[in-house]
Amino acid sequence: MKMKKINIKTTFTAGILFLLTISCCKSDRTWREGIVKDEFVFTFQGAPFRSPHAATIAETTDGTLVCSWFGGTYEGQPDCSIYVTRFVDGQWTPPENVANGILNDSTRVPAWNPVLFQVPNGELQLYYKLGAHPRSWWGMRIVSNDGGKTWSTPEQLPDGIIGPIKNKPELVNGKLISPTSTEEDGWRVYFEISDDMGKTWRKTAPVNDGHEIMAIQPSILKYADGRLQALCRSKNRAILQSWSDDSGETWSEMTKTSLPQNNSGTDAVTLADGRQLLVYNHVLPPGDAFKGVRTPLNVAVSEDGENWSAALVLEDTPDSKFSYPAVIQTSDGLVHIVYTWNRIKIKHVVVDPAQMVITPIVDGQWPGQVANEQ
């Protein structure tokens, strides 16, 4: 058989061109592959507040998007109230003040951290907190039976029940599991469970001690084998995790994930395809500090909750603050993310998860990021 002569020069040149192509493709990566919409949910001019924060989002039974946040002079000021907007006919409605902290003619306290939850084929619930400081919060709730157009009179939750502290509850085996935390004696995570969609509640034991392991504001992820995973904001320089094998009744000892934490809120959602999606600031504070800048704002995905891949950079402007994300997947498969944009606006980003491009995160380092870069 006659052997074909190999042109070494041609083969070498082709190899170089292949490597250059890979390099060019990598350098051309925008980190925004999959984003199909990027907008603000209200026009700041004429808004009835100066500073909005802590947005939440839900899809109602008829497919309408509802977004809520607290707004006022600034976080912690008595004029902070709960605002709601709905996405109707291709645009967000003007923000409506639906709850506040007016207790009587002489006393007003700030409202904080609204959380929306759509009861399947039922009411739209909006949980929020009142109190001068997170250490003294008490839980409140209003409900809507018309998809967020009108709301009930505010009701206080039972004594000792705060409600979801920042992130959405999850429905697991008929139980509504509310991820929550307290700050009055260290940062402690626990869960409030309702067997009747919020009419009555009970609490789990704290997951962490609050002093050596300092965590708040958990999100709940669900797995096909029935396990639950909680991912938490922390002061331990890493996103912390805990696992449950019994539908949220008990939780494992809290441990560090491979992802960094800058003492800022995160949120996560289990996608319809079984993957886990996390929105957070991929920032490791310098030295031994537990608090870092709140930029960039990133999206990572995982198959198992342990090994994460980089997917999106939602924001990366230096000297800016992008924080407190909330994320859901709607019935059409799209992912909706809302977050605080520089403490003056609420941003809404829509992602098609099928179009995301992912790259493994190795040793906690975002791909292409300089080590310890802030």
Residue-wise pLDDT for 133-188, tens only, equals: 999 999 999 999 999 999 999 999 999 999 999 999 999 999 999 999 999 999 99
Residue 26 above 80 pLDDT?
A: no
What percent of the chain is modeled with pLDDT above 90? Answer: 89
Q: pLDDT at position 119, please?
A: 98
**Structural domains of the chain, count:** 1
Residue 280 above 50 pLDDT?
A: yes
Whether 262 contacts 233, CB under 8 Å? no
- Read off the pLDDT of each residue in 246-275 and give the average, rounded to a whole number: 98
Sheet holding 35-40, edge to edge: 35-40, 345-351, 335-341, 322-329
Q: What is the domain extent for residue 219? A: 28-360
**CATH number assigned to the domain comprising residue 301:** 2.120.10.10
Cα-based distances in Å from 363 to 110, 248, 258, 357, 367: 41, 30, 7, 19, 10
What percent of the chain is modeled with pLDDT above 70? Answer: 91
User: How does the average pLDDT of the chain come out, rounded?
Assistant: 92
Residue 24 above 90 pLDDT?
A: no
Q: pLDDT at position 46, please?
A: 75
- Read off the pLDDT of each residue in 222-232 and give the average, rounded to a whole number: 98
Q: pLDDT at position 371, please?
A: 58
Residue 27 above 60 pLDDT?
A: no
- Read off the pLDDT of each residue in 235-251 and give the average, rounded to a whole number: 98
Q: pLDDT at position 171, please?
A: 98
Q: Is residue 45 very low, low, confident or very high in pLDDT (cuts 50, 70, 90)?
A: confident
- Read off the pLDDT of each residue in 265-289 and give the average, rounded to a whole number: 98
- Read off the pLDDT of each residue in 30-40 and give the average, rounded to a whole number: 97
Residue 123 above 70 pLDDT?
A: yes
Residue 319 above 90 pLDDT?
A: yes
Instruction: Assess if residue 200 is contained within a domain.
Output: yes
Instruction: Assess if residue 234 is contained within a domain.
Output: yes
Cα gap 83→49, rounded to integer Å: 10
Residue 25 above 70 pLDDT?
A: no
Query: Longest C-alpha distance within the chain, in Å?
Result: 101
Instruction: Assess if residue 16 is contained within a domain.
Output: no
What tens digit of pLDDT does each residue of 60-111 get? Answer: 999 999 999 999 999 999 999 999 999 999 999 999 999 999 999 999 999 9
Residue 18 above 50 pLDDT?
A: no
Instruction: Assess if residue 20 is contained within a domain.
Output: no
Instruction: Assess if residue 106 is contained within a domain.
Output: yes
Cα-based distances in Å from 273 to 230, 270, 327, 333: 19, 8, 16, 9
21 dihedral zone (left: phi>0; alpha: psi -120 to 50; beta): alpha
Instruction: Assess if residue 161 is contained within a domain.
Output: yes
What tens digit of pLDDT does each residue of 268-277 get? Answer: 999 999 999 9
Instruction: Assess if residue 94 is contained within a domain.
Output: yes
- Read off the pLDDT of each residue in 257-278 and give the average, rounded to a whole number: 98
Instruction: Assess if residue 13 is contained within a domain.
Output: no
The string of DSSP letters for 269-328 reads EE-TTS-EEEEE-----STT-S------EEEEEESSSSSEEEEEEEE--TT--EEEEEEE
